[in-house]
Structure 1
Amino acid sequence: MSRRQGFLAFTIAATMVLAAPVALACDPDHLHGGGHSHAADTPRTSPPTRAVKGVDLVGNVPDAQGAISMQFLDYSGRQVIAVSGEFGVRTYDLADPAKPKLIGELSMPGMWETEDTEVDPKRKLMFLSRDPRAFGGNTNTGESGIYVVDISTPEKPVQLSYAKVPAGHTTSCINDCQYLWTGGPAKSSSMPADWGGRPIWVTDVRDPRNPKVFPDPIELARNDGKTDYVHDVQVDAQGVAWASGRGGVRGYWTQGSHPDPVQGGTREATPTNPVPYAGGGINELAAKSKFMHNSYRPTGDLIYVTEEAFESGCASDGVLVIASLAGSYEGQGWKSTPSDPFRLTTVGTWSVAGQDGSDPNSADCSAHYFDVRDNILVQSFYGQGTRFLDVSDPSNPTQIAYHREADTAAWQPYWHGDYIYVADNNRGIDILKLTAGRAPN
C-alpha cells in the first residue's frame, strides 16, 4: 500500500521500523511496485501543525511505532490488542483501555506489509501477509507468503507455519478463517504480461500448521476484462466477500447454494470457486485512478469504497466513495469491457482536500482504511490524520470532527468500546474519544 507525510518515501528494502520518516502503504500509480516520495511534489512552506476538533487524545502508545494494523481479542473477559507492523507482532493488555500495556512480541524486523491483518478469534490465530518487498525484496525477486501466528497465549506469540503464496500484500479470512484470500501487489516479471497486478490466491488453513495453497488464482479479469491488482477483501455480515482493487469492487458468495448470474443456474459456492453476487467498477468521475483500496457493505444496496491515489498536491488524491449496487446483481460487473463498460452509480463522495483541519501543504491526502459505527464513519487519511464523518445522508457525508497531529501518518482506525484506536505508522497507536455531538452506541 502506501504512506507518508512530509516524511521520507518508502525504500524498497523497508528493513527498519520507521523513525520519523514514513512510507506509504500502497502506491496504485506505481502498482505498489516501489516507493514514491510525495514530499517533493508539494514543497512545504511551513512546518506541520496540530489540528484537533471534537476529539480528545486520551492516550498514545509510542513503542508501537511502525504499526500498520491491529485486532482486538477476548480471553475470557480479558481484552488484548494484537498489533502487526514492520516490527512483526506485538500484544497489549487493555486492562486500562487508555493505556495499553505491552505483554508479548514476535520480532520480525523488516516485515512488510501486514495491512488489515486478520485474526481467527476462536482459534486465536493471526495471519500475516508477507509482501515481496519485505526483508529487502522487490516485486520481481522478493518472496511473498503467509505467516500463521498462534496468539492463544498473548504473552508469547508463536509462529506456527509459513506458506509461500504468489501474492502477499494483504490476506483476508474467508468462511470463518478456515480459508484465506491473498492478493497484491504489482505482478512479478514471471507473471503474464497482460496482468496489471496480482489477483487472489486461496489458502486452506483448516490445519494451521500445514497451510495448503491452491495453485490457480481467482478473481481474474476484474478490470473491464483485464486481470489486475486485487488489493484487499472484506466480508460483510451476510458472508459476501468483497474484493477491492484496480477496476472496482466485486462481491462473491463463498459457501452455500446460490444463483450464478454469470454462468447461469444455481451452484454451490466454495472459497476456490465462489459465486458472483454484485459489484463492478467505480465511476471514473468519482475515482479517477480506478484503484479501490478497501470496502464496507452495510445491509442494502450501498457500498462504501476507498480510492487510494496520490497525485501532485491534494485536490486529486484518493476519496471515499459511496456507491449503489443496484443494477449490478445480474453479473454486469463481470461482463464489463472497455468498449461497453459497466459502472456502479455514485451516491456520494468525500475528500479531505480543503476541509476544516486539513494541512494545505501535506502531500499525503489519500483516503485509506475506515470503520463505521451507527452513522459515524471514522477514516484515516495518512498525513491528514483521522476524520469523523456523519454518513446518515450517504449523498452528503459531513465531517463532524478530526484529529491530526503534526507528525501523523494515520493508516487505520478502529472503534472499540468508548474509544477509537488508530494505527499510526509514525506515532504508534493513538487512542481517541469522540466528543463532538452524540457518540455512536
Structure 2
Amino acid sequence: MKKFRSSTFIIALLVILLTSTLPSKAAVETIEGIDVPVVSSDNVELVGNFPNATIISAVFSSEKPYMYANTLTGVTIYDISDPTKPVPVGKLASAHFENEDATFGERKDGTKFMLIAYDPIGVTPAYEDKSVSTGNEIVVVDVSDPTNPHVVSRVETTTRTHTATCVNKECTYAYTSGSTDEEDSPAFSIINLVDPSNAYEAKVYPSSVGTTGHDWQIDSSGVAWLTGLQGTVAYDISDPLNPVVLNSTDERALNGTEWNSFIHHNTLRPNGDEFKSRGEGQMESNESLERTADQIRPGEVLMVTEEDYLHPGTCENEGSFQTWQVQRLNKSIAGSDKSQIQPGTGTIEPLDSWNTKILNTDVDTPAGLICSAHYSSYHQDGFVAIGFYQQGARILDVRDPTDIKQVGYWFMGIQEVWGAQWIPERDENGRVTGDVSNLVYTYDPTRGLDILRVTLPEESPAHTDSITAPISTDMIQVPATELSEALQEKMSHTHTH
C-alpha cells in the first residue's frame, strides 16, 4: 500500500527537541541563553499559558464545561468552567501519535467517548490488548466519567487512520481519513460505533479525493466534507453507510496545482444550514478570482486549509488558507455511481488565499522554518483563528471571502502552533449557546496551551486594514541548520502518496 508521510509526524521529531518548559508571560525571555522574541498585535493579549498541556487537538462537550484533549502523552480532560484557568480532572496515559483532529460522541444516555486514530503508531498499555499498532487502527476511549477515561475497544481498519471523524453527534458511525482498499483503489473505512465497546469496520467505501484522504468536517447542515490529495469533496451522509457525492472542488484543487501543491488538509463551512443550491440560470461566472462579496450567498463559502511543508521557499509559497465558492450541492453528478466522482470535476471554485509572510521575503525558509496553514476555527462575527506552525496563531477577517485580511497575530520564536480554537460560550447551566467567545486556545506541543483574548475589528471589512506581522527569519529559534541532514532531506524532498 502506498504511504503518506504526515507533516506532523516529522514535526514530532522537532517536538522532542523543544518540549522544555517555556515562559508564560508575553515578553522577551532568555531560555538557556537564547533570546525568545514575542510578537503580538495590539488586539491579541496572552491571558494564560499551561506549558505541561502538550495538546495536539481537543474537542468540547456541548452539555458541560469540559474539554477533551488529545496530547503527546495520552488523553487529558479539563474542567473549563473558567476557560482562562483549565483544570485537569482526568487522564489516560497512552503512547500514541498523532490523532491530530480530536473527535467526540455525546449520547442522551450520558455516554461520551473519544476516538483516537493511530497513525503512524500507538499502544494502549492500560487495555487488555497491549499490542503495538503501526497504523490503520482506532481506539475508543470512554470519557463518560471525566475523572476516569478508559479504553473500551480497538478496531483495525483496511484504510489509513491519520484522522477518524464522528459523522453525527451521537457518533454511531465514523469515517477514516482513508487511503486505498485491498485492490489499491482510493477508499475510506466506515466504522460502526453503535456499541462503542464493540466497534468494527462496517464497510470500505470509494473515496473521491485520491489515494490519500486527510480529514472530514461535518457542517451545520450535516454535509460531510472530505479533504485530501486531490482536493475537497462534499457528501450527503443522511445514510451514513452509503454516502452520496454532492460536489467537489474543480481542477484547480488537484495535487500539484497553485491551489494544492501538497494536500487539502481540513475545512470550515459557516452557515451551511442557510445554503440553497443554485439552478443553472443562477450560477455566477466561472471567473472566480474576479468575484466580489455581493456575489456570495449565505452558506456558499468553503474555507480550506492547504497544507504544504514539502516545498520550502518563502512563506508565501507554503501552505495557505483559502476560500472557495459552493454554488451547488445536489446529486446531479455524472455517471450512475453516486458514491464517487472523478477528482477535479466539480463546480466549487476558488476565491482567495492567504499565507503568512516574513519581512526578508527574498530569503528562502529552509526545512524547519515551517509556515504552512494548519487547523482553524470560525467566529460567528466572520473571523478565523488559525495555527501556522512556527509562524504562530493568526486572526483572519473572512467577512469578505474574496479578500482575506490578517487582523491579529501571536508569535513566539519557539513554537509549533498546530491549531487555534475559539472557546464556546455557555449558558448558566454550562451548555453551549451556539456562539463562541473572544478567547482562543492555541495548541502547541512545544510550548503548551496558550490562552489568548482577541479584540475583533468593529468596522466593516471594506474599512478594515490588513496588518503585517513584523517577523523575520532570525526570530525563529529552530533553524534548519540545527536539524540533522536526514531530517532536512525528509522535510524538503520526501513525499510518497
TM-score, normalised by the number of residues in structure 2: 0.68
Aligned to 1:368: 374
How many angstroms apart in 2 are the aligned matches of 1:74 and 1:252?
25
Aligned-pair identity (%) = 28
Say which of 56, 61, 70 aligns to 1:73.
Answer: 61
How many angstroms apart in 2 are the aligned matches of 1:290 and 1:336?
19
Deviation at 1:112, TM superposition (A): 1.0
RMSD of the TM alignment (CA)?
A: 3.1
Deviation at 1:96, TM superposition (A): 2.6
Once the two structures are superposed, the pairs formed by residues 267-282 of structure 1 within 5 Å of their partners are 270-281=239-250
The amino acid of 1:172's aligned partner reads T
Residues 399 and 282 (structure 1), Cα distance of their counterparts in 2 relative to 1, 3 Å cut: farther
CA contact (8 A) 2:326 2:347 kept: no
Say which of 451, 454, 460 aligns to 1:431.
Answer: 451
Pair 1:315 & 2:319 matched: no
Deviation at 1:280, TM superposition (A): 2.8
Aligned to 2:388: 381
Pair 1:302 & 2:301 matched: yes
Instruction: Kindly provide the CA deviation profile for residues 176-206 of structure 1, in whole angstroms up to 9, marking residues without a partner as x.
Output: 311010124x66xx9555x5xx631011101
Deviation at 1:272, TM superposition (A): 2.3
Deviation at 1:174, TM superposition (A): 1.3
CA contact (8 A) 1:282 1:346 kept: no
Residues 64 and 199 (structure 1), Cα distance of their counterparts in 2 relative to 1, 3 Å cut: farther
The amino acid of 1:246's aligned partner reads L
Say which of 133, 144, 147 aligns to 1:155.
Answer: 147
How many angstroms apart in 2 are the aligned matches of 1:356 and 1:92?
41
How many angstroms apart in 1 are the aligned matches of 2:195 and 2:161?
20
CA contact (8 A) 1:73 1:80 kept: yes
Aligned to 1:347: 351
Instruction: Kindly provide the CA deviation profile for residues 269-289 of structure 1, in whole angstroms up to 9, marking residues without a partner as x.
Output: x22211221223461554242
| Gaps in structure 2 of 5+ consecutive residues | 1-5, 21-33, 124-132, 273-298, 426-436, 460-497
The amino acid of 1:279's aligned partner reads S
Residues 295 and 356 (structure 1), Cα distance of their counterparts in 2 relative to 1, 3 Å cut: farther
Residues 203 and 326 (structure 1), Cα distance of their counterparts in 2 relative to 1, 3 Å cut: same
Aligned to 1:241: 224
Aligned to 1:89: 75
Once the two structures are superposed, the pairs formed by residues 7-406 of structure 1 within 5 Å of their partners are 9-11=11-13, 18=16, 20=18, 49-53=37-41, 54-65=43-54, 67-73=55-61, 78-109=64-95, 111-122=96-107, 123-134=111-122, 142-166=134-158, 167-176=160-169, 177-184=171-178, 192=183, 199-214=187-202, 216-220=203-207, 222-223=208-209, 227-255=210-238, 270-281=239-250, 283=252, 286-289=258-261, 291-298=263-270, 299=272, 300-310=299-309, 311-313=311-313, 314-326=315-327, 329=330, 330-331=332-333, 334-336=340-342, 342=346, 344-354=348-358, 363-374=369-380, 375-406=382-413
Aligned to 1:27: none
Quick check: which has more Rg, 1 or 2? 2
Aligned to 2:479: none
Aligned to 1:413: 420
Deviation at 1:354, TM superposition (A): 4.2
Secondary structure of 1:283's aligned partner: helix
Deviation at 1:62, TM superposition (A): 1.1
How many angstroms apart in 2 are the aligned matches of 1:282 and 1:134?
36
How many angstroms apart in 2 are the aligned matches of 1:154 and 1:217?
33
TM-score, normalised by the number of residues in structure 1: 0.77
Runs of 4+ with >6 A deviation: none
CA contact (8 A) 1:279 1:328 kept: no
Aligned to 1:261: none
The amino acid of 1:116's aligned partner reads D
The amino acid of 1:351's aligned partner reads N
CA contact (8 A) 2:235 2:244 kept: yes
CA contact (8 A) 2:264 2:306 kept: yes
Residues 174 and 327 (structure 1), Cα distance of their counterparts in 2 relative to 1, 3 Å cut: closer
How many angstroms apart in 2 are the aligned matches of 1:336 and 1:178?
29
Instruction: Kindly provide the CA deviation profile for residues 44-81 of structure 1, in whole angstroms up to 9, marking residues without a partner as x.
Output: xx97632111201101111112x110112256xx5121
Residues 355 and 389 (structure 1), Cα distance of their counterparts in 2 relative to 1, 3 Å cut: farther
Relative to structure 2, which stretch is displaced further, 342-351 or 244-253?
A: 342-351
CA contact (8 A) 1:388 1:400 kept: yes
The amino acid of 2:333's aligned partner reads G
How many angstroms apart in 2 are the aligned matches of 1:281 and 1:231?
18
Q: Give the number of equivalent residue pairs.
A: 374
Aligned to 1:32: none
Deviation at 1:217, TM superposition (A): 2.0
Residues 343 and 425 (structure 1), Cα distance of their counterparts in 2 relative to 1, 3 Å cut: farther
Deviation at 1:327, TM superposition (A): 5.7
